[in-house]
Amino acid sequence: MTDIQDPVLRSVELSRTATGHYTARNAAGAEIAFGQGEGLLSPVELLLAALAGCSAVDVDTATSRSAEPSEFRVEATGRKIVEENGANRMDDLRLSFHLSFPDDAAGRKAAGMVERLVALSHDKYCTVSRTVEHGSAVGHDITVGLDGTACDAR
């Protein structure tokens, strides 16, 4: 089977708001502040949130058709690894789902779907966790300039 590339380019734009403080904004105008400092999620915590959020959306969308959850929490954890060469990365990534549904037929139906939905999200639908597990090259372009002068991409 041949892979099919979705023609829609996903993007966010990051702007610096202060030293160590940033805002990421998508084309629709939604934004999130993050960085280093009190009250901010770090970039690594955003990665964990993206992992949890991607699978949460998959599970929530399907189970909520049957029953509204009385509790819906997903905890994402991981350990920072510093490799011998000094390079940083995350390892031992794990999602823990904590869900409750009403004790009625609809709630039991929703609860009965969770294990299968979590597996489907992991194995097929969650773009974030599948990208992390499979790996993807991260390229970069650089444009640097001085005030009042033209910039050239490097």
Count of structural domains, the chain: 2
7 against 14, higher pLDDT: 14
Do residues 50 and 28 share a domain? no
Do residues 77 and 19 share a domain? no
- pLDDT, tens digit, for every residue of 98-123? 999 999 999 999 999 999 999 999 99
Do residues 56 and 112 share a domain? yes
Residue 107 to residue 47: CA distance in whole angstroms: 31
What is the average pLDDT value for the chain, to the nearest integer?
94
Residue 55 to residue 48: CA distance in whole angstroms: 11
Do residues 27 and 63 share a domain? no
Banded model confidence at residue 150, pLDDT cuts 50, 70, 90: low
145, burial (CB in 10 Å: exposed 0-12, middle 13-18, buried 19+): exposed
Do residues 105 and 47 share a domain? yes
pLDDT score for 151? 64
> Is residue 125, in this structure, part of any structural domain at all?
yes
Average pLDDT over residues 131-147: 92
DSSP character at residue 123: I
φ/ψ of residue 14, rounded to 5: -105, 135
Do residues 75 and 117 share a domain? yes
- pLDDT, tens digit, for every residue of 71-97? 999 999 999 999 999 999 999 999 999
> Is residue 151, in this structure, part of any structural domain at all?
no
Residue 143 to residue 138: CA distance in whole angstroms: 17
Do residues 23 and 95 share a domain? no
Domain assignment of residue 96, given as a range: 42-133
- pLDDT, tens digit, for every residue of 16-71? 999 999 999 999 999 999 999 999 999 999 999 999 999 999 999 999 999 999 99
Do residues 33 and 49 share a domain? no
pLDDT score for 140? 94
pLDDT score for 105? 98
Do residues 34 and 99 share a domain? no
The domain that holds 120 is classified in CATH as 3.30.300.20
Examine the pLDDT at 153 and tell me if it is beyond 90: no
